């Protein structure tokens, strides 16, 4: 299904809120862990994971704004 329903149920809204929180937390944790390591390759990997979670967070927000 590629379309977002016009009406979001309470249960759906709760799950979306959880997804937003998870992605925000994981992004923040990645930034924290990146500062704890010295290996440049690992820092780069952690940065890309943080960016992925930030992008997911922003995509969710954009979908909500469109609806």
Sign of CA dihedral 38, 40, 41, 43: positive
For residues 14 and 64, the model is more confident at 14
Task: Please report, in angstroms and rounded to a whole number, the separation of the first and last CA atoms in the chain.
Answer: 15
Averaged pLDDT of the chain? 91
Is this structure's pTM higher than 0.75?
yes
Residue 27 clears pLDDT 90, i.e. is over it: yes
Residue 67 clears pLDDT 70, i.e. is over it: no
Q: How many helices (H) and strands (E) does the chain have?
A: 2, 0
């Amino acid at each position: 299904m590629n379309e977002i329903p016009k009406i979001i149920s309470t249960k759906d809204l709760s799950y979306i809120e959880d997804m937003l929180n998870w992605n925000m937390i994981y992004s923040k944790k990645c930034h924290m862990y990146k500062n704890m390591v010295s290996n440049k390759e690992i820092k780069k990997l952690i940065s890309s994971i943080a960016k992925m979670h930030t992008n997911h967070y922003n995509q969710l927000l954009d979908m909500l704004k469109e609806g």
